[in-house]
Structure 1
């Protein structure tokens, strides 16, 4: 699908190592390869964690949310700057990412002659303030369309906001290099920010419960709970079996040399890391949280879903996979086939068809 002088603007807070930011980087790189003009507008200053094509233009609004006064003042300045950029760029459509950015974008673009779409990637069951709920209900109706990742989220937003032009479009699976010649190691791996919602503490508890000194448990990611998790590793006496390399750029390599992927998130909007693991043929054991994993994994077919926070069941499923290479390969193969449905070409076309119709 070659573009005919189409210009797309994407808006996000930052391009750090989050799932929404990966979504923007993947789509932007793909779109410019099709000769679309793409501009990414960042609310705050910062380097991109992801590699972006030189053809992509990046603008920064220098929004600051340290305190209420800064938030109001810099928000006004950022809004004015955004309007000026959009008037100059005159894009075919604007796509805003993340709930808070969506509200800012919809306020800032009122009465501009530009089509604005928002993608809401938060779990519908996440607690929101009264003001956020009010603003979503008021402003989402002003958007030209809303993109959500799951059917559950679609039903929730339609009821909560009264929006009618809603489309479920899953995240594309990032291009993950598959190294066929790599030597597999006895590694159980998880990937995600070190936050309460990602709940890596249950990953560590499962490691402690499994008396398998020949297996390594790896946590990739960075966040505010690093110190707490380090203390937990020490208190559980599993220092020799657990490593936390941080937020690494060679996630592909780690996934390829691992044998089992685990997700202990207690709340998800989708599950990008799960998809990337499945794309390289890893069997996945995941908590069956509110939304996300249950729309990705077909239980016992291409992964295992276990009750949320059930460390006993989590450990049991991990151990079953540890002990059965044939089962690991079968489930991993099925997982890889499932992910073929979420390639960048298919998902990109769905987004463009929705936003350009």
Structure 2
């Protein structure tokens, strides 16, 4: 691994820390940056679930104490003026807009790179007009042109950002979410104390993600009910979120209490993935779901909705997993049954190699204006 001849200072700005894929991407990138000799500040409005994530000890956690929306820009401006990082990277709404506004008011040459991790048009289409999220295309159109760099985590997300903002496609760089394959495989081998994985005659179907509307876990639970009509199996969903009560009610309504488990967020989901018979992504929309790459790395067979926009790209059009229509419970159940019958599509190691952390981290350092030879000139993307 190369090291920077001139140490850089990167600030990574997030709304807060949840229990999702963005956090895992940021964690992996941060570890790589630190290993290269880069100084990293993790700047957050408030901690959220900070205790769930093991960032390197050298990473400074800057809590802006900015739970109120109107306090975020002035507090981030104050941080930028005091610390003057070489570059600031933000992720998703409305952290991206706050980062761009803060650079504007700070009056500093700090290079600001915004990263889009979701298919914004789909997210807005599924949100209420009464929420801030519904207005994110307008704010993106207004503020993204100010960015020194724009990252999209999939080709589909990049095309969506270009369509929403009116920016040329060349302004948007697609950088895959990294897959730390060696670490994933190592953690997949760690002991797992759960009785369901001691009964190989009963296959375990696994879903992982925040318990939110986007992930459409009701579709997975309903599909599992159809699977149960054909053969015995169990379903486990890892994650936490606002939909828990609704999902628990649906499980009781379908009489599946003994065969569906939702243990919440776990520190090592890879031990569960590695021992599951099939991994299912039931989302209504995604950017580039990290969990699909992790399941591929572990060799766990995959069934995924063909939602916009990441699964099709990650699974190479269905070559490395079953793709089914969004919201089609019957198709999802049939896809699961197909895998349970032994019809699997393992990923080619050469395909996985393109998602390696080292290469991904270097692309981020390049767009942030840092290279192994020192700083790159902070020239805005044309």
**TM-score past 0.5 threshold:** yes
1:32 corresponds to: 34
Is 2:226 the partner of 1:197?
A: no
Higher relative contact order (CA 8 A, sep 6+): 2
Counterpart Cα distance in 1 of 2:360 and 2:267? 24
Separation in structure 2 between the aligned mates of residue 132 and residue 300 of structure 1, nearest angstrom = 31
Q: Indicate which of 134, 137, 141 corresponds to 2:145.
A: 141
Counterpart Cα distance in 1 of 2:300 and 2:351: 12
Equivalent in the alignment of 2:269: 251
For the residues of structure 1 that align with 2:59 and 2:142, how far apart are their CA atoms?
32
Q: Counterpart of 2:379?
A: none
* 2:96 partner SS: helix
Aligned pairs (5 A) from 1:1-357: 1-3=2-4, 4-46=6-48, 47-65=50-68, 71-72=69-70, 75=71, 78-110=72-104, 111-125=107-121, 126-127=123-124, 131-164=135-168, 165-174=171-180, 175-178=183-186, 179=188, 185=200, 186-211=203-228, 214-324=232-342, 327-328=343-344, 331-332=345-346, 334=347, 337-356=350-369, 357=376
Unaligned runs of 5+ in 1: 66-70
Shift of 1:99: 1.9
Alpha-carbon deviations, 1:7-31, whole Å to 9, x = none? 1110001122122122211111111
Secondary structure class of the residue paired with 2:184: coil
Return closer, same or farther for 1:48/1:25 CA change in 2, 3 Å cut-off. farther
Q: Is the 8 A contact 2:189 2:271 kept in 1?
A: no
The separation in 2 between residues aligned to 1:83 and 1:124, in whole angstroms, is 26
Distance across 2 between alignment mates of 1:152 and 1:251: 27
Contact 2:287 2:309 in 1 (8 A): yes
Q: Distance in 1 between matches of 2:248 and 2:160?
A: 37
> For the residues of structure 2 that align with 1:171 and 1:295, how far apart are their CA atoms?
12
For 2:135 and 2:301, the matched residues in 1 are separated by 41
Match of 2:194 in 1: none
Q: What RMSD, in angstroms, separates the aligned Cα atoms of the two structures?
A: 2.1
Q: Deviations over 1:253-279 (max 9, x none)?
A: 111111100010011111111111111
- Residues 319-347 of structure 1, C-alpha deviations (whole Å, 9 max, x = no match): 121121xx33xx23x26553222111111
For 1:135 and 1:204, how far apart are their aligned partners in 2?
A: 36
Answer whether contact 1:190 1:263 (CA < 8 A) is retained. Answer: yes
In structure 2, relative to structure 1, the CA distance for the partners of 1:131 and 1:256 (3 Å cut) is closer
Question: Normalising by the residue count of structure 2, what TM-score does the alignment of the two structures yield?
Answer: 0.84
How far is the alpha carbon of 1:158 from its aligned partner? Answer: 2.2
**Maintained 8 Å contact 1:123/1:291:** yes
**Runs of 4 or more above 6 Å deviation:** 181-184
Shift of 1:45: 3.2
Distance 2:36 2:173 in 1: 23
Corresponding residue SS for 1:266: coil
CA deviations over 1:155-205 (Å, ceiling 9, x no partner): 232233233421011111244134469878421101011111111111111
For the structure 1 residues 132 and 161, does the alpha-carbon distance in structure 2 shift closer, same or farther, using more than 3 Å as the test? same
CA contact (8 A) 1:95 1:116 kept: yes
SS at match of 1:177: helix
Q: Give the TM-score, by structure 1 length.
A: 0.90
Gaps of 5+ in 2: 192-196, 370-375, 377-382
